[in-house]
Amino acid sequence: MNRSEQEGFRQRLLALRIELRDLEAMSAEACKPVELDQSMVGRLSRIDAMQGAQMAQEASRRRQQQLVRISGALARINSGDYGYCSLCNEDISIGRLGIDPTYTLCIHCAEKSI
């Protein structure tokens, strides 16, 4: 992988990180616990609100995991290890990284680990 390709992935990762952080900030309100005041909301509405809060918390957990993977990919770019499989040290194809620039395994090692 040449430097311009790495820089393209760096820019993509940085943009994705900004997008995820913005989403996290916008959804912070949805993750708050549901108030159980029965005089304000009916039982079914509370159940819907609780389910919505759980879904928002799970989405937040997944965004946090993705942010960790992005940080790892950016660190690998800085160290010169980006684009190499973490198990066999072979190149990860550009097409595979195009699908998800945080991948750490080549297709062969990824298939073995399933």
In a domain, 104, yes or no: no
Tens of pLDDT along 68-85? 999 999 999 999 999 999
Q: Which domain holds residue 77?
A: 3-82
Total domains in the chain come to: 1
pTM recorded for the entire structure: 0.81
In a domain, 100, yes or no: no
Lowest-confidence pick of 12-16, 52-56, 82-86: 52-56
In a domain, 113, yes or no: no
In a domain, 98, yes or no: no
In a domain, 99, yes or no: no
Residue type, 66: Q
In a domain, 108, yes or no: no
In a domain, 7, yes or no: yes
